[in-house]
C-alpha cells in the first residue's frame, strides 16, 4: 500500500485542525451562553421561573413571586409596568424615561436572562405570552392613557420567537365585520390572548365608536369579529371560554364589569365581582380568574380573584399587587430553553413560516405599512 501523498497529508491535517477549532469555538460559545447572567435589574436570588403566583409589587415596581399560601414573597425580579409569563418565557414591559413616551418590551428566558429587547412608542398597557412561551404580544397607548376616553390610540405587536418575526402593528390585518371586509382608519387593536396552537388568537378591535371581540388567524393573516362590546379578552386554559370586560355604564368612574363568554354557545354571564375592572384578567386555573383593582388605603393596586362561573365572592389575593400570572408545577420549559440545548436543527418553523438553516443574522421586510423585523438567533 503506497503511503499518502504530501498533499493528502496536508489536507488531513488541515481538516483535523478545523474540526478541533470548530469544536472548541462551539464549546466556548455554548459555555458563554450558559453563563449569561440574569437581565439587568434582576437579583440573582430571584432565581428561575418556579411554580407560584407572579405579580408586580406596587411598592417598588418589581416582579415578585408568592410560592403558596402562607409562604413569604420572593422579591427581586425585574422592574416592569406590565408582566406576563408562560412556557418558560417572560414578557416585561416598562416605560422608558423622557418624551415622547416609549416602552421597552423585554423578553426573558426561564432563568431571567434577556432573550430579546424591543423599543416601541407609547405607554405600557397589555402583555401576553402564549402557553408554549413562543408567541408574545404587547399593547401600548400611543395616544392617551385610558380606554375610558374617546381620545386614545393603541399599537399592538406580535412576536414569534421561533422565527424572530416581529409584527410591529397588527392594524393592517384583514378584518371581517358583520360578514363584510372592514376598512377604516380608526381601527385599533389591543389585549391579545393566544390559543394553545400558537396560531389562533383573540383580541379587542375598536372602530366607529364600538368595540368587538375578534378571532384572529396568524397563518391566514385574517381576523373576524365575533361579538360587540367586549374588551381585553383572556382565553381559559382549556380554550373554551373567554373572560372579558364589558361596558355596562356610561359612568366614567365605573364603566365595566367582568364577564365570561362560552365560545361554543356564545352565551355570557357576569362574574361575582361587581366593581369596575379595567384589566385583562388572568386565569389562575380553569375555574378562577385574577385581576387588579385600585388598592385599598395607601396601596396603588391590589390583586383579587373570583370564580369563573359567576358564583362565590371576590377574594383579596395580593395586597399591593398587579399583573398577576400563575406558573404551575410540571409545565414544560419553552422549546430551546433547556439547560443543555442542541443546535443540530436545520430549520425553524413558526406561525409566520419556516426559515432554513437558522443562523445569527438580521433583516427587515415590509408588509404593507408595517415594518416586520426578522431576527433569527439560536435559542438558549
Please give the chain's pLDDT, 380 residues, in tens: 455 566 555 544 444 444 444 444 343 334 334 445 677 779 988 888 999 999 999 999 999 999 887 788 899 999 999 999 999 999 999 999 999 999 999 999 999 999 999 999 999 999 999 999 999 999 999 875 455 455 568 999 999 999 999 999 999 999 999 999 999 989 999 999 999 999 999 999 999 999 999 999 999 999 999 999 999 999 999 999 999 999 999 999 999 999 999 999 999 999 999 999 999 999 999 999 999 999 988 999 999 999 999 999 999 999 999 999 999 975 544 333 333 233 333 344 565 554 333 333 333 332 333 433 333 222 32
Cell matching residue 177:
365585520
Is the Cβ–Cβ distance between 373 and 161 less than 8 Å?
Answer: no
Find residue 127's DSSP bridge partners. Answer: 138
Q: How far is CA 152 from CA 83, 206, 279, in A?
A: 22, 11, 16
How many other CB atoms are found less than 10 A from the CB of residue 19? 10
Q: Is 175 helix (H, G, I), strand (E, B) or coil?
A: strand
Cell matching residue 18:
478545523
- In the chain the first and final C-alpha atoms are separated, in Å, by 49
Strands (E), 336-369: 347-350, 353-356, 361-367
- In terms of Cβ atoms closer than 10 Å to its own Cβ (0-12, 13-18, 19+), residue 53 is buried
What pLDDT is stored for residue 160 in this prediction?
98
Q: Which of 354, 313, 352 is nearest to 160 (CA)?
A: 352
What pLDDT is stored for residue 375 in this prediction?
32
DSSP codes, 230-297: -EEEEE-TTSSEEEEEEE--S-TTS-EEEEEEETTTTEEEE-S--S---S--EEEETTEEEEEEEPST
What pLDDT is stored for residue 10 in this prediction?
54
- In terms of Cβ atoms closer than 10 Å to its own Cβ (0-12, 13-18, 19+), residue 354 is exposed
Is the Cβ–Cβ distance between 307 and 287 less than 8 Å?
Answer: yes
Q: How far is CA 60 from CA 45, 111, 178, 272, in A?
A: 17, 21, 46, 31
Q: Is 187 helix (H, G, I), strand (E, B) or coil?
A: coil
What pLDDT is stored for residue 353 in this prediction?
52
Amino acid at each position: 500500500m503506497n503511503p499518502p501523498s504530501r498533499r493528502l497529508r496536508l489536507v488531513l491535517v488541515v481538516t483535523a485542525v478545523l474540526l478541533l477549532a470548530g469544536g472548541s469555538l462551539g464549546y466556548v460559545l455554548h459555555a458563554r451562553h450558559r453563563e449569561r447572567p440574569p437581565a439587568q435589574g434582576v437579583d440573582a436570588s430571584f432565581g428561575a421561573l418556579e411554580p407560584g403566583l407572579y405579580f408586580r409589587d406596587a411598592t417598588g415596581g418589581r416582579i415578585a413571586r408568592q410560592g403558596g399560601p402562607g409562604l413569604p414573597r420572593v422579591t427581586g425580579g425585574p422592574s416592569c409596568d406590565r408582566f406576563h409569563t408562560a412556557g418558560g418565557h417572560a414578557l416585561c414591559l416598562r416605560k422608558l424615561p423622557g418624551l415622547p413616551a416609549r416602552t421597552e418590551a423585554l423578553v426573558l428566558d426561564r432563568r431571567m436572562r434577556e432573550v430579546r429587547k424591543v423599543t416601541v412608542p407609547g405607554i405600557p398597557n397589555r402583555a401576553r405570552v402564549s402557553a408554549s412561551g413562543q408567541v408574545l404580544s404587547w399593547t401600548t397607548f400611543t395616544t392617551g392613557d385610558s380606554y375610558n376616553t374617546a381620545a386614545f390610540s393603541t399599537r399592538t405587536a406580535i412576536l414569534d420567537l421561533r422565527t424572530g418575526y416581529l409584527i410591529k402593528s397588527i392594524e393592517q390585518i384583514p378584518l371581517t365585520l358583520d360578514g363584510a371586509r372592514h376598512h377604516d382608519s380608526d381601527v385599533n387593536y389591543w389585549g391579545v390572548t393566544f390559543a394553545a396552537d400558537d396560531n389562533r388568537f383573540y383580541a379587542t378591535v375598536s372602530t366607529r365608536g364600538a368595540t368587538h371581540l375578534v378571532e384572529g388567524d396568524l397563518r391566514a393573516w385574517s381576523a373576524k369579529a365575533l361579538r360587540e362590546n367586549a374588551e381585553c379578552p383572556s382565553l381559559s386554559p382549556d380554550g373554551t371560554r373567554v373572560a372579558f370586560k364589558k361596558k355596562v355604564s356610561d359612568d366614567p368612574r365605573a364603566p365595566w364589569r367582568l364577564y365570561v363568554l362560552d365560545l361554543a354557545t356564545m352565551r355570557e354571564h357576569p362574574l361575582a365581582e361587581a366593581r369596575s375592572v379595567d384589566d385583562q384578567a388572568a386565569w389562575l386555573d380553569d375555574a378562577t380568574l385574577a385581576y387588579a383593582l385600585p388598592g385599598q388605603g395607601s396601596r396603588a393596586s391590589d390583586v383579587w380573584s373570583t370564580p369563573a362561573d359567576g358564583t362565590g365572592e371576590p377574594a383579596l389575593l395580593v395586597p399591593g399587587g398587579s399583573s398577576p400570572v400563575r406558573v404551575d408545577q410540571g409545565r414544560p420549559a419553552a422549546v430551546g430553553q433547556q439547560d443543555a440545548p442542541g443546535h443540530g436543527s436545520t430549520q425553524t418553523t413558526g406561525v409566520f413560516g419556516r426559515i432554513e438553516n437558522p443562523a445569527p443574522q438580521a433583516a427587515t421586510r415590509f408588509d404593507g405599512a408595517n415594518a416586520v423585523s426578522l431576527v433569527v438567533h439560536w435559542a438558549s
